[in-house]
């Protein structure tokens, strides 16, 4: 039996039956980061095929937007139910191509499905208003309409949730959508799209297109038919897409890199802070844009926090995510590992001390030991850059005002966390931190009901909640004279 036969996502029903175009000469191999084995193939679509997919999305749009909202929502709700029914199968595909532990994959499938459930509520959509008239012979009406054909480019770290968070509000609003998943994780995308088909979502309303990211990004952003582009990924690519979308004045949602500070104040409940720190730092082996990046610990609680935190980190178990007792799966690829190694080497060179970890798992190509770096400071890359790996730099502080000033200098502004039991301090820090989302005494902030997004170079727009659907609606004003 060869490696492909062992895992067989190519043969999983959800993928095998899918409508994703396969009439292409070349294909892209997808591997399992835990083994390096090839587990499936997806088509490497040509520019002409991508353009045809855009045309189909346009044709489908003029029908889908006229489907009554309640009917669109019924189909979404059926899609949500199917995702629940297939949770185990989807989680298996996700772990196979992404590497995260199965328990996290199940959690991600539930989280992904919750966005579809959320946007399956017709009452969420603002249907417009009638404004106070200036003359009895006139009416002034405001209505909302779907933006049109939309496109999404999604990353490998959350291969399910980053798709449904964009697609569900788009489809609820009456838009159609093309999704280009990351090269590393297209199989989950295809499996989810297959369930959308089974739920009765018509052809062309949701299309998965696989192939070269740069080429597809250029086609999407330069297409006059695509009226909106939603991207989650690196700030570098976000900038490129923003520039190339300028020619078509496209609506953009950008959810880009973060560098979330995790502050433990002198008034914190340290036990709770340690639990929150573990959850926040090591989710998906640190490969999450809202993961805590560096930890800032007040000198009064520094010894207690670091001792307890290091003890917990030492208990995290590495291994293949398919093993139910594993906490930390492999990093996505060799580049990710090299980035983590360089960041740790830079910190050590500048005076950081490795309290635990600090190297690859013996003989492994994709795992890095959960690492704690003491004596970290703002001269180091680990504090200034998004690490995207299981490395926790710890900075000691004693002056809150100076710390807040230092954080204000950062160009990123996605999330921040702090632990404090003092109400005045909670209010002060919540207002002072220049980010889009804050966890107070909580290391987990994500939920389908909340507006997810950042400020500064962390992006534009919000996904989720009531705000998420507004990204897919246009406002039209109609003046009526009688």
Ligand X SMILES: O=C(O)CCCC(=O)O
Ligand Y SMILES: NC(=O)C1=CN([C@@H]2O[C@H](COP(=O)(O)OP(=O)(O)OC[C@H]3O[C@@H](n4cnc5c(N)ncnc54)[C@H](OP(=O)(O)O)[C@@H]3O)[C@@H](O)[C@H]2O)C=CC1
- Applying CB under 6 A, the residues found at the interface with ligand Y are 153-157, 180, 182-183, 213-214, 217, 232-234, 237, 240-241, 255-257, 289, 386, 388
- By CB under 6 A, residue 164 contacts ligand X: no
Instruction: Map tokens 């191999």 to a residue.
Output: 29
Active site residue 255: yes
**C-beta closer to ligand Y: residue 217 or 464:** 217
Nearest to 149 by CA among 78, 74, 76, 61: 61
DSSP strand E in 44-146: where? 129-131, 138-146
Phi–psi pair at 460, nearest 5 degrees: -135, 135
Considering the candidates 108, 184, 194, 255, report the single residue annotated as catalytic: 255
Q: CA-to-CA distance for 421 and 441, rounded, in angstroms?
A: 8
Closest approach of Cβ 173 to ligand X, in Å? 20
Question: With binding defined as CB under 6 A, does residue 188 bind ligand X?
Answer: no
Task: From residue 254, give the alpha-carbon distance in Å to each of 189, 234, 257, 297.
Answer: 19, 10, 10, 31
> Which residue, 114 or 284, has its beta carbon nearer to ligand Y?
284
Q: What are phi and psi of 480, to 5 degrees?
A: -115, 125
Contact set for ligand X, span 438-477 (CB under 6 A):
446, 452
CA neighbor of 179 nearest in space, from 65, 50, 329, 9:
50
Q: How far is the CB of 154 from ligand X (least distance, A)?
A: 9
Nearer Cβ to ligand X (90/297): 90
386 binds, among ligand X, ligand Y, none (CB under 5 to 8 A by kind): ligand Y
- Asked if residue 96 binds ligand X (CB under 6 A), the reply is no
Measured CA to CA in angstroms, residue 267 lies from 148, 149, 300, 418 at distances of 50, 50, 9, 11
331 binds ligand X (CB under 6 A): no
Task: State the number of CA atoms in the 13 A half-sphere of 184 facing the CB.
Answer: 24
CB neighbour list of residue 102: distance below 8 Å, 6 or more residues apart:
91, 92, 95, 321, 322, 324
Nearer to ligand X by Cβ, of 54 and 285: the residue is 285
Span of 135-143, 285-293, 326-334, 420-428 interacting with ligand X by CB under 6 A: 285-293
* 295 or 452: CB nearest ligand X: 452
**Per-residue contact track with ligand X, 226 to 255, x per CB under 6 A?**
------x----------------------x
Among candidate residues 251, 24, 259, 168, the one with its CA nearest the CA of residue 463: 168
Nearer to ligand Y, 237 or 313 (CB): 237
At its nearest, how many Å lie between ligand Y and the CB of residue 217? 2
- Residue with token string 């991207």: 231
If residue 474 lies in a helix (H) or strand (E), which one and from where to where?
A: strand 473-481
> Could you tell me how many residues of this chain bind ligand X (CB under 6 A)?
11
280 touching ligand X, by CB under 6 A:
no
Point out which residues bind ligand X (CB under 6 A): 157-158, 161-162, 232, 255, 288-290, 446, 452
Residues annotated as catalytic (active site), given as ranges: 255
């Amino acid at each position: 039996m060869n490696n492909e036969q062992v895992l067989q996502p190519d043969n999983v029903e959800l993928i095998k039956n899918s409508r994703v175009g396969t009439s292409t000469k070349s294909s892209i191999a997808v591997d399992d980061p835990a083994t390096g084995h090839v587990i499936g193939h997806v088509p490497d679509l040509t520019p002409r095929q991508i353009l045809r997919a855009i045309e189909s999305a346009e044709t489908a749009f003029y029908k889908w937007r006229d489907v009554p909202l309640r009917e669109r929502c019924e189909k979404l709700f059926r899609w949500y139910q199917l995702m629940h029914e297939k949770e185990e199968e989807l989680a298996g595909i996700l772990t196979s191509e992404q590497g995260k532990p199965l328990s996290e994959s199940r959690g991600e499938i539930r989280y992904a499905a919750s966005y579809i459930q959320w946007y399956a509520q017709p009452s969420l959509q603002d249907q417009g208003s009638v404004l106070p008239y200036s003359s009895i012979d006139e009416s002034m009406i405001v209505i909302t309409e779907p933006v049109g054909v939309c496109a999404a480019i999604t990353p490998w770290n959350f291969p399910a949730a980053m798709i449904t968070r964009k697609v569900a509000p788009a489809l609820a609003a009456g838009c159609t959508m093309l999704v280009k998943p990351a090269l590393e994780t297209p199989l989950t995308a295809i499996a989810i799209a297959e369930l959308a088909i089974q739920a009765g979502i018509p052809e062309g309303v949701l299309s998965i297109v696989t192939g070269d990211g740069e080429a597809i990004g250029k086609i999407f952003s330069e297409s006059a038919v695509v009226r909106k582009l939603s991207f989650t990924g690196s700030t570098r690519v976000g900038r490129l897409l923003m520039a190339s979308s300028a020619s078509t004045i496209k609506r953009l949602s950008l959810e880009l890199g973060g560098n979330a500070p995790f502050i433990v104040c002198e008034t914190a409940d340290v036990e709770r802070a340690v639990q929150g720190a573990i959850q926040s730092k090591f989710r998906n082996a640190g490969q999450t844009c809202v993961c805590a990046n560096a930890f800032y610990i007040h000198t009064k609680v520094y010894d207690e926090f670091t001792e307890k935190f290091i003890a917990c980190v030492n208990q995290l178990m590495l291994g293949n995510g398919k093993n139910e007792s594993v906490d930390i799966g492999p990093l996505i690829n060799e580049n990710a590992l090299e980035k983590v190694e360089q960041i740790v080497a830079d910190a050590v060179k500048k005076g950081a001390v490795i309290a635990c970890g600090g190297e690859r798992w013996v003989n492994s190509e994709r795992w890095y030991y959960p690492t704690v770096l003491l004596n970290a400071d703002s001269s180091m890359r680990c504090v200034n850059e998004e690490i995207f790996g299981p490395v926790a730099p710890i900075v000691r502080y004693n002056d809150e005002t100076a710390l807040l000033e230092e954080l204000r200098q950062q160009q990123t502004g996605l999330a921040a966390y702090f632990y404090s039991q003092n109400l005045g301090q909670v209010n002060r820090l919540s207002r002072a931190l220049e980010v889009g989302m804050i966890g107070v005494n909580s290391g987990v902030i994500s939920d389908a009901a909340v507006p997810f997004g950042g400020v500064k170079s962390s992006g534009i727009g919000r996904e989720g909640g009531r705000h998420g659907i507004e990204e897919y609606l246009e406002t039209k004003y109609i003046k009526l004279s009688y």
